[in-house]
Amino acid sequence: MNIIINEELRSFIDPLSASESAALERSLLAEGCRDALVLWGEVLIDGHNRHDLCRRHNIPFRTVQNAAFSSLDDVMLWMIDNHLARRSVSDFQRGVMALRKKEIVSARAAHNAGVKTAAPGAVSVPGSMPDSVPDTATAIDSPPWNTREDVAKAARVSSNTIGQIERIQKAATPQLVDAVRSGTISISAAASVASLPQSAQIAAVAGGRKELQLAARQVREQKAGSRAPKEGPGDEASALRAQVAVLRQKIDALEQENAEMRSRLASAP
């Protein structure tokens, strides 16, 4: 049987911890692979960890086809929705998947808008099928996916966390991404470390959890030190009172000077 592993689809799945992998391996060795792996054509779309272990130990497994998809994007949306509904998925993976769904949905909406614009005079023939039929993935009632808040709601994390994940995706090295996926470093700390040069990120990951935490703390302290202190309402009031006191001193000095000049003029012959 030829089963194709799509690495992008596989990336949606959190890596098993050592204890989780061992428990799954014991279960497969003792009871066999009870649940069928799900395929779309020859592409594996559900059961990647079981597939790996079954092949390693020559354990027989069954497969079932899911032919409800018309494109790889449909498969991705199905996988993303399945994983977003699971409690065992980490915050980082939920954020990554929700952002990926936003990309797919946005690209599909832009494509559909372009198709409609390209054929403004198209006339439908009664009884004929439309050029494009809404697929099951897009028919699902979903958020509009226009804002970071929409993505955060789907991922069940804060919008600030989504912003941090975006920074990690944009600037983090593969080593740092692996560290945050495995839980070695938190999302917020990884977002801070991602602002460092790639060589510094790699060195921090190589140093382990403590080195990563130290690097994140140093980045935060550096940013905090570079910020100019903001004056609060109390500081502004104090500054105004000081200016008023200076002006009063100047006025008093001018009045005294005028009085002295009047006195000299009065005593002049």
pLDDT digits (tens, 9 = 90+) for 40-59: 999 999 999 999 999 999 99
User: Which pLDDT score is estimated for 127?
Assistant: 40
Of 74-88, 152-166, 254-268, which has the strongest mean pLDDT?
Answer: 152-166
User: pLDDT band at 116, cuts 50/70/90?
Assistant: low
Q: How far apart are CA 101 and CA 87, in angstroms?
A: 18
Q: How far apart are CA 21 and CA 146, in angstroms?
A: 37
User: Which pLDDT score is estimated for 138?
Assistant: 44
Q: How far apart are CA 76 and CA 85, in angstroms?
A: 14
User: pLDDT band at 125, cuts 50/70/90?
Assistant: very low
Q: Provide the whole-model pTM.
A: 0.65
Q: Which ranges constitute the DSSP H helices of the chain?
A: 7-10, 18-31, 48-57, 72-84, 91-118, 136-139, 148-155, 159-171, 174-181, 187-193, 198-206, 209-226, 233-267
**Beta-strand pair 63-65/37-40:** parallel
User: Which pLDDT score is estimated for 121?
Assistant: 52
Q: Of residues 82 and 120, which shows the higher confidence score? A: 82
Following CA atoms 99, 212, 87, 17 in sequence, which dihedral angle do they give, to the nearest 10 degrees? 120
Percentage of the chain beyond pLDDT 90 is 44
Cβ atoms of residues 142 and 152 within 8 Å:
no
Phi, psi at 2, each rounded to 5°: -95, 110
Angstrom CA distances, 65 to 40, 41, 62, 196, 243, stand at 6, 7, 10, 45, 80
The string of pLDDT tens digits covering residues 209-257 is 999 999 999 999 988 877 655 555 666 677 777 777 777 777 877 777 7
